[in-house]
Chains A and B, each alone.
Chain A
Amino acid sequence: GAVVSQHPSWVICKSGTSVKIECRSLDFQATTMFWYRQFPKQSLMLMATSNEGSKATYEQGVEKDKFLINHASLTLSTLTVTSAHPEDSSFYICSARYFGGSRGYTFGSGTRLTVV
């Protein structure tokens, strides 16, 4: 149990276009999801906390107009990178708090975004 599915696993897009990444909780309801970004050889950086039915809370320094987060249902949160640029190329990972068991927080497998 407590599986989070992230899609796509990798994507290449042209500079200036937008990319949407989906994060689904498959066997539980996730009122709160978290989005992270990871650059090569660095740790995961929390970008924002996504709350079902309300606006996301962004970490300091993260542009909310560039990284649009929608959490319209208890099983789906999306991250849209708008007007992507090469510096947005990174590994994006979502996570959800799982209340039903002992694991606490479960993570998706990540999305490798390359902007060319």
Chain B
Amino acid sequence: DAKTTQPPSMDCAEGRAANLPCNHSTISGNEYVYWYRQIHSQGPQYIIHGLKNNETNEMASLIITEDRKSSTLILPHATLRDTAVYYCIALLTGNQFYFGTGTSLTVIP
């Protein structure tokens, strides 16, 4: 599975959009990009995943570049409850899930 690189931390003002980048320059054609988040002392929570096309659900939007070497998770209107560590993972569905260090997002009132 491709290695991913994320900034260690980010801040975002409450109510504003949070844009979390992820670099996965070695991603292969069949590897999906998954995003999960972990709120302190809880299990990871699924956010969204995609292969090529941009995806949107009730939680977030996922923008994948045309060359698939990077992606951005967008939380359109961040709230204090969105403060968490966000993990971007690239893998072949069915493989083991290896977590990187993620991005610690702090939403500021």
A110 to B42, Cβ gap below 8 A? yes
Main secondary structure of the interface of A (DSSP, over half): strand
A residues apposed to B, CB below 8 Å: 4, 6, 34, 36, 43-46, 49, 91, 93, 95, 97, 102-110, 112
Interfacial residues of chain B within 22-38, with CB under 8 A of chain A in the complex: 32, 34, 36, 38
B41 to A46, Cβ gap below 8 A? no
Chain B count of residues within 8 A CB distance of the other chain: 22
Distance between A110 CB and nearest chain B CB, rounded to angstroms: 5
**Contacting A105 at CB < 8 Å: which of B34, B85, B100, B102?**
B34
Distance between A21 CB and nearest chain B CB, rounded to angstroms: 13
Interfacial residues of chain B within 86-109, with CB under 8 A of chain A in the complex: 87, 93-94, 96-102
**Contacting A6 at CB < 8 Å: which of B32, B36, B43, B44?**
B43
Complex Cα distance, B38 from A108, in Å, reads 11
Does B68 have its Cβ within 8 Å of any Cβ on chain A?
no
B41 to A105, Cβ gap below 8 A? no
A102 to B43, Cβ gap below 8 A? no
Does B65 have its Cβ within 8 Å of any Cβ on chain A?
no
CB-defined contacts of B85 to chain A, threshold 8 Å: 43
A97 to B49, Cβ gap below 8 A? no
Complex Cα distance, B44 from A108, in Å, reads 8
